[in-house]
């Protein structure tokens, strides 16, 4: 039966495919397709894993001390029984041979399926066996982790048209990821994988998970509440990333309608691609700088493809994630920054120092357990709390500046004391490189304006910095006191609130007065409904995910700032900025 689940639209487009339900704890399991000739080897890998775990359990049973509680022996019996259960083994074989999933993916998929059935059981005892099954599966996965896979590296799922999908029920259909929650580090892993779209139960429009989805340029919906409960493994689903809706088990008519829309989106993209080499100049001749936001050096290629004239925000924290506490050292970072510089082919790269904390934990699944993590040890505060780690990064950036054009940007500065501490660390990093005789380049220094305190004190901020970059994602969060990651208040998270617009307008105006460049690098920069207003407020530099650049450029080419400037002032002064915006 067809039904739909509503959430927040975070990344545009339509995806049609089969649902892959992934529990948050299992996202670090590899997901890729194998070749048909690898099926037998992959089934064998699971069999070996299962046998090894069975032997381990039998050994435990044999070595059990006489005075061990009887429950322990019973528990091992249950685990052994679950291990041999045909539902588990038969199901895993099915996913490998019919869908060509790799062994780990097949195992976790089948686990999710059985776990659902356990959840639905009336009997408490049986319901609790889910935890046992989970432990058994974890053991097999752990064993398989130690055994190299003989199969090929990840390959993409060939995309099919909805017409194909209607007629064809074979293995290589697009897959859509459905999860309760995904951390930014998880998302980073999925960037390498095969999914055509994703849906999560939680999250806000500018949560970092949503931001990474946008960078992947695949349709995505977050804050869909119970989506992961309502969808079953392998259900057909449509993700409408424009409307923020997931349609489950669509009828052929709905599928055909969305297939049509999917083709329209593809045509629109082709049309926009023609603007790639067109300079971003308004009707009245203002040249607008369109820069890219990237998370990894490899993203630079997409930035160049989209016609970005540089990187306005390299979120360097993504280099630090998922390393289990082994943070990259100076040399490793240096190489990553040089890779980004190479990728940008001589265009400038703005590297923001690490911004972890709040919804960007360093490790997968790790959550900041402080009461108010967004107000806690985040971004520059985190760096200043660990000066030697911070200077590792600063030295790496300074060295990269000898290799290409680099700008250095600091997140979440709030007041003069933090600025002075930060700049002192930069000086120290230079002195350390001097002492080592290592060459480094000159960098422009910039501050992110993302806390109201910084926006209010912008005049004095500009005395210290060469440029500013407004992080509207956080500026909105902190000005309105609305958690950017919380779907329960997402409807109140509004870039058009007067207080936010006033701060943004003042920062742009002060930059202009002092002749220093001001960029917006929050998600509003890539929101085409905001382009005219930002131009009208005097913004001349926008940084966004590569996927949004051409659509924003189209708006710029149609814009006349002589008309937009007085209109923007009217919007600022009006009671209802949102209403004026559509006029
Ligand atoms: C912002 O806050 O707008 C920003 C660009 O930084 P981040 O989204 O990484 O917090
Ligand atoms: Mg921010």
What's the CA-to-centroid distance between 522 and ligand 1, angstroms? 5
> Which residue's CA is minimally distant from atom 6 of ligand 1?
471
- Between 3.40.50.1100, 3.30.1300.10, 3.40.50.10860, 3.50.30.10, what CATH number should domain 3-20+151-272 receive? 3.50.30.10
195 backbone dihedrals φ, ψ, rounded to 5° = -75, 145
Whether residue 521 has its Cβ less than 6 Å from ligand 1: yes
The closest-lying atom of ligand 1 relative to the alpha carbon of residue 475 is 2
What's the CA-to-centroid distance between 524 and ligand 1, angstroms? 10
> Any idea which residues carry the catalytic annotation?
208, 521
SS (H, E, C) 498-567: HHHHHHHHHHHHHHHHCCCEEEECCHHHHCHHHHHHHHHCCCCEEEECHHHHHHHHHHHHCCCHHHHHHH
Sorted by where each begins, the domain ranges of the chain are 3-20+151-272, 36-145, 274-581
Per-residue confidence in pLDDT tens, the chain, 583 aa: 899 999 999 888 999 999 988 876 666 677 788 899 999 999 999 999 999 989 988 888 888 777 777 777 888 888 888 888 888 999 999 999 998 889 998 998 898 888 888 888 878 777 778 888 888 888 898 888 765 444 433 333 433 433 444 444 444 678 899 998 887 777 777 776 678 999 999 888 888 878 888 888 899 999 998 899 899 888 999 999 999 999 999 999 999 999 999 999 999 999 999 999 999 999 999 999 999 999 999 999 999 999 999 999 999 999 998 777 788 999 999 999 999 999 999 999 999 999 988 777 777 556 667 778 889 989 999 999 999 999 999 999 999 999 999 999 999 999 999 999 999 999 999 999 999 999 999 999 999 999 999 999 999 999 999 999 999 999 999 999 999 988 889 889 899 999 999 999 999 999 999 999 999 999 999 999 999 999 999 999 999 999 999 999 999 999 999 999 999 999 998 877 666 665 4
Tell me the β-bridge partners of 406. Answer: 349
Residue 398, pLDDT score:
98
Please report, to the nearest 10 degrees, the dihedral formed by the alpha carbons of residues 476, 478, 481, 487 taken in order: 60
Whether residue 244 has its Cβ less than 6 Å from ligand 1: no
Q: How many residues does the chain have?
A: 583
Residue 497, pLDDT score:
92
Whether residue 299 has its Cβ less than 6 Å from ligand 1: no
What's this model's pTM, rounded to 2 decimal places? Answer: 0.82
Domain 36-145 has CATH 1.10.274.10: yes
The closest-lying atom of ligand 1 relative to the alpha carbon of residue 471 is 3
Residue 578, pLDDT score:
65
**Burial degree of 158 (CB within 10 A; 0-12, 13-18, 19+):** exposed
Residue whose C-alpha is closest to residue 353's, from 289, 283, 406: 406
Token pair, residue 63, equals 């070595």
In CATH, the architecture of 274-581 is: Alpha-Beta Barrel (3.20)
Collapse the DSSP code of 344 into the 3-class scheme (helix H, G, I; strand E, B; otherwise coil) and give the result.
coil
Whether residue 395 has its Cβ less than 6 Å from ligand 1: no
Whether residue 485 has its Cβ less than 6 Å from ligand 1: no
């Amino acid at each position: 039966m067809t039904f739909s689940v509503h959430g927040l639209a975070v990344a545009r487009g339509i995806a049609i495919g089969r649902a892959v339900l992934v529990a948050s704890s299992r996202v670090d399991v590899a997901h890729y397709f194998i070749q048909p000739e690898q099926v037998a080897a992959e089934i064998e890998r699971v069999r070996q894993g299962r046998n090894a775990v069975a032997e381990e359990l039998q050994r435990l049973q044999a070595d059990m001390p006489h005075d061990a509680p009887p429950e322990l022996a019973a528990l091992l019996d249950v685990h052994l029984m679950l291990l041999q259960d045909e539902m588990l083994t038969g199901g895993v074989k099915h996913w490998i041979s019919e869908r060509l999933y790799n062994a780990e993916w097949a195992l976790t998929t089948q686990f999710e399926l059985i776990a659902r059935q356990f959840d639905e059981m009336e009997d408490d005892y049986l319901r609790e066996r889910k935890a046992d099954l989970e432990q058994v599966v974890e053991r097999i996965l752990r064993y398989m982790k130690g055994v190299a896979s003989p199969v090929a590296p990840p390959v993409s799922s060939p995309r099919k048209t909805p017409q194909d999908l209607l007629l064809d029920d074979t293995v290589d259909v697009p897959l859509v990821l459905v999860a309760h929650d995904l951390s930014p580090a998880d998302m980073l892993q999925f960037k390498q994988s095969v999914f055509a779209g994703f849906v999560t139960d939680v999250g806000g429009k500018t949560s970092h998970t949503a931001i990474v989805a946008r960078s992947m340029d695949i349709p995505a919906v977050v804050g869909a509440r119970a989506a992961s409960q309502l969808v079953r493994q392998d259900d057909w689903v449509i993700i409408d990333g424009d409307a923020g809706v997931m349609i489950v088990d669509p009828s052929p008519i709905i599928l055909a309608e969305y297939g049509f829309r999917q083709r329209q989106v593809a045509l629109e993209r082709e049309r926009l691609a023609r603007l790639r080499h067109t300079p971003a100049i308004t009707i009245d001749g203002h040249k607008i700088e369109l820069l890219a936001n990237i998370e990894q050096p490899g993203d630079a290629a997409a930035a160049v493809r989209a016609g970005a004239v540089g990187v306005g925000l390299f979120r360097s924290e993504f280099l630090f994630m998922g390393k289990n506490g082994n943070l990259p050292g100076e040399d490793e970072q240096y190489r990553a920054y040089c890779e980004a510089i190479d990728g940008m082919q001589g265009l400038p790269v703005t590297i923001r120092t690490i911004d972890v904390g709040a919804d960007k934990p360093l490790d997968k699944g790790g959550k900041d357990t402080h009461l108010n993590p967004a107000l806690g040890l985040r971004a520059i505060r985190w760096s200043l709390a660990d000066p030697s780690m911070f200077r590792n990064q600063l030295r790496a950036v300074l060295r990269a500046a000898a290799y290409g054009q680099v700008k250095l940007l600091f997140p979440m500065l709030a007041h003069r004391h933090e600025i002075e501490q930060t700049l002192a660390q930069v000086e120290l990093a230079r002195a350390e490189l001097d002492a080592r005789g290592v060459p480094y380049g000159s960098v422009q220094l910039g501050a992110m304006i993302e806390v109201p305190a910084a926006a209010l004190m912008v005049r004095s901020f500009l005395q210290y910095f060469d440029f500013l970059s407004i992080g509207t994602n956080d500026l909105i969060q902190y000005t309105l006191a609305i958690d950017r990651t919380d779907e329960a208040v997402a409807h109140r998270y509004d870039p058009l609130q007067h207080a936010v617009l006033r701060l943004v307008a003042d920062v742009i105006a002060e930059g202009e007065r002092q002749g220093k460049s001001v960029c917006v690098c929050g998600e509003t920069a890539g929101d085409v409904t905001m382009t005219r207003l930002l131009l009208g407020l005097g913004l001349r530099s926008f940084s966004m995910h590569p996927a949004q650049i051409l659509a924003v450029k189209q708006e710029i080419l149609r814009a006349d700032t002589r008309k937009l400037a007085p209109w923007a002032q009217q919007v600022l002064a009006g009671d209802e900025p949102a209403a004026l915006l559509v006029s």
